[in-house]
Structure 1
């Protein structure tokens, strides 16, 4: 088959179609073979290429015709404005951390680790095995595969001290990622119009879930050692809130880990006020110089609703998380989940369970800790060298991010645009505050691709900042 001959016929037919009226019938294959002195296979290849371009269509038993040209006209959706009315709430747009960017950019913005930090071999093998099993064809229980429920319960129970009753598999609800789980939890435990206490700054997805469910967010300032117990107590008393959302280990965006004993102080406040804490342990697998100890491991009275995700540590293609809750709270959350999605893909549940129960999983986590340490220190050192006018708000003991305080008066959004023009993608810190920002910040992900470019990226940030962003 001659590719040059096929291309020559395509070009010739392009010229023929320019002169022919729309909808014209093309010459038969026999005619084209004779005219261009080509084989039938070559002519068919040319016709397939034109079909793929949407220029011609075959009508069996009739012939091959030019497609009629349809004139595009602007669509008028104005009628929907009256039909929909005013929105009940204005939801924040999707985070800039979810943007796709050019491959040659230096990307600090993403919320996910680079592909080379994932257990790719384990994931591929797990998906293959799961596709061959019953999970590929059957409907799993609404609360999740029993074996995966047991794994999540055991993981939390492993850090439960003596004297505290560990969770059981029946306390676990498997979720299709933590984002939808947050929405279900807020609907079930808070309700539209009711107050929800939330660390500030905090995960943008939790802010989005709160807006989506119509709850009223009340920010509680949180620093490198966690929220001030006195401030948290005041917020409970003044608002009458019954739920507090927090990330005690490696908070997104700051990387902060609560000080020793802070969890016990918060637990005492929860007991005193008859309240819940939603503990988001998103970075459980991303410890660097410490290991996370969930507050939920020290609670057996149902005050802490614990949510843990495997999406970032296993694979973004395997959106699996779980919530562990006890008592009526668990039943309300399960009812919300069943109403929203009925059940979670058994195939993805089986694949996730396969990955985390392989011997290679623990080997991967040990290697991951070392890789995150190297990347964190490289980026932090680069920032100190090239962006000395900014302040690094502590070197995190885990997680994926550095939280950089910019000089007062800096326009973080303008800085992000200036950096993007120079090929560096950063995330302005505004979207991590549930209310007004406490100052100008940017969040930088040190688990992104091409760590060798971190010094160059820091240099560009420093130059953009010095230029008056």
Structure 2
């Protein structure tokens, strides 16, 4: 008992946490999860795949099959399961981007890929460019790396390419981070001309592009677009994931590297966790090669397309007069903007009181936020539940029943 005061005094003299840790924002999505776990709450906040669409039987069969070999319970190579890398490479090549298995490093979700790239490419104080608004977990990762983050604004639903060129010339960034297809949080997609211009600017100004593509396969309308890596192969590092098309709990993602950084990324992976779960990689490879993945993805696309349409059909009668929102061709999100004078963050408390939730847009900005914006996810619930949730949301602003 007599040592307690000494222990307390010692604690006061411990070194503080790093400045980089202090600069990282908390995730409002994670913070909201505890509030939205109440059974009555309809949450449009989390970007959660629909659990009833998981191919549980197929995934279970894949794990059962690979457990016939005890090697799936052993340590593995840092680069990842050979069959899995070969299958991911085959899919890239079939989509028009020639890729070898050796180009790929399997990661514990694409989120780890962001961390490994930051470790490999960034020193504290380095400048990077991001879309404004930007995927929040990317902003967290870059803050922890000590990067100076500068947002490239949008002009309506189109990236301001003149601003990208100007900011690149002014700041000599290490890279430009983009989610070019069905972006999180906005659902926006860079069109073909924009992609060509982004690639040309990177080549002319001499920076890399980090192309994050977790939603690419979730297209419900419109034509598929080429990867940025097709347009500027030496300048683009691509990230991918099975979280949205098989199940997020597998935590299987990958980095499509360029030869100049591949050895450094591999070392960063070794230092991070040695390798991604051997059994999960083996099960994912078996599942993909079993032929069950494509029919499951077709079911997912059909269901999400109907859910997107249900949300878009209801929004005109739900959001306050003068609001705007986009009409994404795929992905998981609709981005809305309330009328002049309104604040989406201030309205959230009233929404939660009506047992409905969304994510205010303020946390997705690296600079001055647009406080009128909010993100709505449409994938988690069936159409009837979406309509009910949006009706509750309308009550928040006096527009619902």
**Structure 1 length normalisation: TM-score?**
0.78
Cα separation, 1, equivalents of 2:28 and 2:66: 32
Q: In the alignment, which of 411, 426, 442 is matched to residue 358 of structure 2?
A: 426
Computed over aligned residues only, the root mean square deviation of the Cα atoms, in angstroms, reads 2.2
Q: Name structure 1 gaps, 5 residues minimum.
A: 1-72
Q: In the alignment, which of 307, 310, 317 is matched to residue 242 of structure 2?
A: 310
Q: Is the 1:225–1:256 contact (alpha carbons within 8 Å) kept by the matching residues of 2?
A: yes
Q: 1:347 to 1:378 in 2, by over 3 A?
A: same
Q: 1:373 offset after TM fit, Å?
A: 1.2
Partner of 2:275: 343
**Higher RCO structure (Cα 8 Å, ≥6 apart):** 2
In the TM superposition, 1:17-416 aligns within 5 A as: 79-85=10-16, 87-89=18-20, 90=22, 91-97=24-30, 99-100=33-34, 101-160=37-96, 166-222=98-154, 226-290=158-222, 292-299=224-231, 301-389=233-321, 391-416=323-348
**Structure 2 length normalisation: TM-score?**
0.91
Q: 1:182 offset after TM fit, Å?
A: 0.4
Other structure's SS at 1:283 match: coil
Cα separation, 2, equivalents of 1:275 and 1:339: 26
Q: 1:310 offset after TM fit, Å?
A: 0.7
Q: 1:113 offset after TM fit, Å?
A: 1.1
Cα separation, 2, equivalents of 1:78 and 1:196: 41
Cα separation, 2, equivalents of 1:420 and 1:330: 46
Q: 1:408 to 1:225 in 2, by over 3 A?
A: closer
Q: Is the 2:192–2:225 contact (alpha carbons within 8 Å) kept by the matching residues of 1?
A: no
Other structure's SS at 1:397 match: coil
With 204-213 and 288-297 compared, the bigger mean Cα shift is at 288-297
Q: Is the 1:160–1:297 contact (alpha carbons within 8 Å) kept by the matching residues of 2?
A: no
Cα separation, 1, equivalents of 2:382 and 2:208: 41
Deviations 1:264-301 (A, max 9, x none): 11111111122110000010221111354342441464
Deviations 1:115-158 (A, max 9, x none): 02322222222222233334432222110011111112122222
Q: Is the 1:186–1:210 contact (alpha carbons within 8 Å) kept by the matching residues of 2?
A: yes
Cα separation, 1, equivalents of 2:104 and 2:59: 23
With 124-133 and 187-196 compared, the bigger mean Cα shift is at 124-133
State the aligned residue count: 390
Bigger radius of gyration: 1
Q: 1:190 offset after TM fit, Å?
A: 2.5
Q: Is the 1:188–1:336 contact (alpha carbons within 8 Å) kept by the matching residues of 2?
A: yes
Q: Name structure 2 gaps, 5 residues minimum.
A: none
With 416-425 and 114-123 compared, the bigger mean Cα shift is at 114-123
With 379-388 and 79-88 compared, the bigger mean Cα shift is at 79-88
Deviations 1:409-440 (A, max 9, x none): 22222211111111112111112112221341
Other structure's SS at 1:437 match: coil
Other structure's SS at 2:346 match: helix
Q: 1:81 offset after TM fit, Å?
A: 4.7
Cα separation, 2, equivalents of 1:204 and 1:381: 28
Cα separation, 1, equivalents of 2:324 and 2:258: 39
